[in-house]
């Protein structure tokens, strides 16, 4: 009877002991797994040198986005300070009148700092960050992306997990530079001068100067300011545009107050706008080609079978350029011969004074006779 009771108790307690033993075994395994996980996290959190690794670097903005500050670590250590990349920032910019210009300022590791553009002539603040501080709507701030940003983030990802990730990363490449641009539209002559890009760092303040030069294109007539042709011949006027790196969008021709380009009455007119050409490419049978400078845009006005109505003043007016004027005289054959005869007689008179005096002899004799007659009557 006693043995039966012991057997019953053993049967009842055996499952409980087994379950307890299994629970202890699972608990030990779970605790071991937790400790291993914590150790793994601790190893990722701290490098072998005791310095935070690249994986725990804190960013003021999302990785790879504008303003990424890869120099601020989780313990507050600054590996990099804001710098202006002067190898990427041009110091001299030249644009022509009326164009749109971008002044560049490449800043690395900007973090929470701000870029300011000002005009040195009057120290007028133009933009602060992306905000415009001038009433002139032609000025605005533009932020560009660095072409090396993607390569930098790829290198950052490849260096994660390395004990010397930060050192390897910094030795191989710099943080991407952000391009903080000042945009000026419809460029004017008064916009020329020095502009300054500033980063609000502690003393000394980071800054870079950019000299902006504005070209003012001007036109000139290759044939001169006066042009005479005979009626029925071809009238050709060549307009050369100086100080113009690129061909102007439009070149307007005026005859008096009429725009030749769009006037249907000028059916015989042909206007050809040529890009910058080399002098040797021009046909040599035209004498005016010698006046064309190489590498400059040219606009040519051609009128076939010109007549008297084509006389007058012609103006070549490229857009955003100083115009040029030529006076055209169209003569008939008789008028041309008369002008040539008068010109030849004038040349002879001016070159032979005795002949001039001899030709005036009869007139002087008549005047003397008239004076003598008046004297006789008076007596």
- Whether 306 contacts 229, CB under 8 Å: yes
Q: Is residue 196 part of a domain?
A: yes
Same domain for 111 and 163, yes or no, is: yes
* Domain annotation covers residue 52: no
Q: Is residue 270 located within the same domain as residue 352?
A: no
Are 35 and 108 found together in one domain? Answer: no
Please identify, among 215, 239, 265, the residue that sits at the C-terminal boundary of a domain.
Answer: 215
Residues 6+ apart with CB under 8 A from 5: none
Q: Tell me if 229 sits within 8 A of 285, measured CB to CB.
A: no
Strands 124-128 and 131-132: antiparallel
Per the prediction, the chain carries an average pLDDT of 72
Comparing 8-12, 75-79, 95-99, 339-343, the range with the smallest average pLDDT is: 75-79
| Whether residue 173 sits in one domain with residue 88 | yes
Residues 255 and 133 in one domain: no
Residue 276 tokens read as 């910058």
Q: Is 340 part of a structural domain of the chain?
A: yes
Q: 199 with 147, same domain?
A: yes
User: Helix count (H) and strand count (E) of the chain?
Assistant: 6, 20
Give pLDDT, residue 80: 73
pLDDT at 144: 86
Residue 181: CATH number of its domain: 2.60.40.10
Q: Do residues 41 and 108 share a domain? A: no
Interval 134-155 mean pLDDT: 73
Q: Identify the top-confidence range among 26-30, 137-141, 144-148.
A: 137-141
> Looking at the structure, do residues 21 and 64 belong to the same domain, yes or no?
no
Number of domains in the chain: 4
Determine the average pLDDT of the residues in 276-282: 45
State mean pLDDT over 72-89. 69
Same domain as 200, residue 62: yes
158 and 80 fall within a common domain: yes
Q: Are residues 8 and 67 in the same domain?
A: no
In a domain, 183, yes or no: yes
Whole-number Å distance between alpha carbons of 318 and 296? 13
Residue 244 lies in a domain: yes
Cβ-proximal residues to 319 (8 Å cutoff; 6+ apart), any chain: 98, 248, 249, 250, 251, 252
Residue 121: pLDDT band with limits 50, 70, 90: very high
What's the pTM?
0.55
Residue 51 included in any domain: no
Most confident by average pLDDT, 10-24, 46-60, 78-92, 291-305: 78-92
DSSP designation for 78: B
pLDDT at site 222: 92
195 in the same domain as 131: yes
Tens digits of residue pLDDT in 157-216: 444 444 454 444 444 456 788 999 999 999 999 999 999 999 998 878 899 999 999 999
Closest CA to 99 of 249, 241, 240: 249
Domain hosting 23: range is: 1-45
């Amino acid at each position: 009877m006693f043995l039966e009771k012991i057997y019953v108790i053993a049967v009842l307690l055996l499952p409980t002991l087994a379950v307890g033993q299994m629970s202890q075994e699972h608990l030990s395994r779970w605790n071991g797994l937790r400790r291993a996980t914590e150790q793994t996290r601790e190893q990722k959190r701290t490098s072998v040198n005791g310095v935070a690794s690249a994986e725990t670097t804190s960013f003021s903005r999302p990785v790879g986005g504008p303003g990424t500050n890869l120099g601020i670590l989780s313990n507050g250590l600054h590996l990099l300070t804001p710098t202006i990349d002067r190898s990427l920032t041009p110091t001299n910019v030249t644009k022509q009148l009326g164009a749109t210009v971008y002044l560049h300022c490449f800043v690395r590791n900007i973090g929470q700092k701000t870029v300011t553009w000002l005009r040195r002539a009057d120290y007028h603040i133009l933009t602060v960050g992306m905000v415009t501080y001038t009433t002139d709507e032609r000025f605005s701030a533009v932020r560009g992306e660095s072409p090396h940003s993607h390569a930098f983030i790829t290198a950052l990802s490849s260096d994660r997990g390395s004990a010397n990730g930060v050192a390897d990363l910094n030795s191989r490449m710099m943080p991407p530079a952000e391009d903080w641009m000042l945009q000026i539209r419809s460029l004017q002559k008064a916009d020329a001068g020095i502009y300054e890009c500033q980063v609000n760092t502690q003393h000394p303040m980071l800054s870079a100067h950019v000299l902006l030069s504005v070209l003012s294109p001007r036109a000139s007539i290759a044939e001169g300011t006066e042009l005479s042709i005979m009626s029925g011949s071809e009238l050709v006027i060549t307009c050369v545009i100086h100080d113009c790196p690129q061909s102007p969008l439009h070149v307007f021709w005026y005859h008096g107050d009429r725009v030749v380009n769009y006037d249907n009455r000028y059916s015989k007119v042909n206007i050809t706008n040529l890009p910058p050409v080399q002098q040797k490419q021009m046909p040599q049978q035209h004498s005016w080609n010698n006046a064309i400078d190489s590498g400059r845009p040219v606009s040519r006005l051609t009128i076939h079978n010109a007549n008297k109505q084509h006389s007058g003043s012609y103006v070549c007016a490229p857009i955003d350029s100083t115009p040029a004027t030529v006076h055209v005289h169209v003569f008939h054959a008789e008028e041309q011969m008369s002008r040539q005869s008068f010109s030849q007689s004038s040349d002879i008179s001016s070159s032979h004074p005795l002949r001039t005096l001899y030709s005036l002899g009869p007139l002087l004799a008549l005047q003397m006779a008239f004076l003598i007659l008046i004297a006789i009557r008076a007596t």
